[in-house]
Amino acid sequence: MPRLERAEGAARVAFALRRIGGREETRLADLFQDGSANVRLPKVHDGSGPAAVFLNSAGGVTGGDHLTFEAHFKAGSTATVTTQAAERIYRRSEGVGRIDNRLIVEAGAKAHWLPQETIVFDGAGLRRRLDVDLLGDARLVAVESIVLGRTAMGEEVTAVDLADHWRVRRDGRLVYADALRLSGDSRAILSGGATGRGARAFASILVVASDAASQLDPARELIATLAADGIEAGASTFDGLLSIRCLALDGRRLRVIVEPLIETLTGRPLPRAWSI
C-alpha cells in the first residue's frame, strides 16, 4: 500500500507590551508559520487588545497529520488567540492525528485561548494536548469545545479514538491537569447519567487567576439563566482556578451557553471569527 501524504504544520505568535505615543499597547512581537499551520492577524477596534487567528490550510486533520500551535504572551501584554473556524477531525485509514498547543504567559499578562469547536467525525482518531506555563500573576481564560459529528445533519459517531490532555503550570508547579478519553462507540459511552446523559457536544472552560473565585457566582447565575432542555453545566473553584463543564445535545445548544460564559469571564466580546 502506498504511503499517503500527511499534513504537517507549525505556527507561533508572540505579543509584547510597547510604549507608543506616550501609552502602552500590546503589539505583535513574533510570527512564524510553516506547512499547513497559518496565522491571520485581524484588526481589532473594541479595545480588547490584538488577536491572532490560527488556521489549518489542509482543511482538517486525519490519521498521521501533526499540527503545532504556540502563543507567547510577554510581561504585561493582553491578547486573544482563536481559530478561523471549527477544526474538523476526519475518518482515518490508519494512525491518529496530533495537535499540540502551547501557551507561555508571563507575569502581568492576560491570555485568552478561545478556539472554536473541534468537530470529530465517525472513525476519527486524535491526540491533542494543551500545555500552559504561567509566570507570577499571569491570568488565563481558556476554552476547548468538542462536537461529535455534524449534529444538525443527524450524523452519529459510533467509532472514535479521542484523547485530550490539559496541563497548566504556574512558576513550574502543576496547578491543573485534566484528561478526556473516548474510545469506542461514543453514543454508548455518553449515554449514562454519570458520563453524558446523551450529550453529543461538550466544553471545558478554565480561568486561572488570583481572583478566579470571585467569578464563581456570576458564572453560576448565568448557567442557571441559560440552562434549558438539552443543556447542562456546572462550575467550581479551588486554588486560584475556576472550572466550568458544559454538556449539550448538539453543537448549536453548546454555543448557547459557552458564548455568554466566555464574554462574561473575559469581559470582552467574542472574537469576530466566531461570527463569520
| pLDDT, tens digit, 9 for 90 and up, residues 215-235 | 999 999 999 999 888 899 999
Q: Which of 45-49, 86-90, 179-183, 268-272 has the lowest mean pLDDT?
A: 45-49
pLDDT at 88: 96
Residue 46 lies in a domain: yes
Q: Cβ of 67: how many Cβ atoms within 10 Å?
A: 23
Residue 3 lies in a domain: no
Residue 4 lies in a domain: no
Mean pLDDT of all residues in 188-213: 92
The yes-or-no verdict on residue 90 having pLDDT over 80 is: yes
* DSSP letter assigned to residue 199: -
Residue 177 lies in a domain: yes
Residue 250 lies in a domain: yes
The yes-or-no verdict on residue 45 having pLDDT over 90 is: no
| pLDDT, tens digit, 9 for 90 and up, residues 70-82 | 999 999 999 999 9
Q: pLDDT band for position 3 (50/70/90)?
A: low
Residue 1 lies in a domain: no
Count Cβ neighbours within 10 Å for each residue of 196-213 and write b for 16 or more, e otherwise. Answer: beebbbbbbbbbbbeebe
The yes-or-no verdict on residue 49 having pLDDT over 90 is: no
Mean pLDDT of all residues in 102-127: 97
Q: pLDDT band for position 4 (50/70/90)?
A: low
Calculate Rg over the CA atoms of the chain. 18
Q: CA 97, 155, 182 angle in degrees (round to 5)?
A: 45
Q: Which of 10-14, 18-22, 111-115 has the lowest mean pLDDT?
A: 18-22
The range of the structural domain enclosing residue 124 comes to: 9-275
Residue 122 lies in a domain: yes
Q: What is the tally of structural domains in the chain?
A: 1
CA 260 to centroid of chain Cα atoms: 15
The yes-or-no verdict on residue 132 having pLDDT over 70 is: yes
Mean pLDDT of all residues in 124-144: 98
pLDDT at 156: 83
Residue 97 lies in a domain: yes
Q: pLDDT band for position 2 (50/70/90)?
A: low
| pLDDT, tens digit, 9 for 90 and up, residues 252-263 | 999 999 999 999
Nearest to 235 by CA among 225, 226, 247, 244: 244
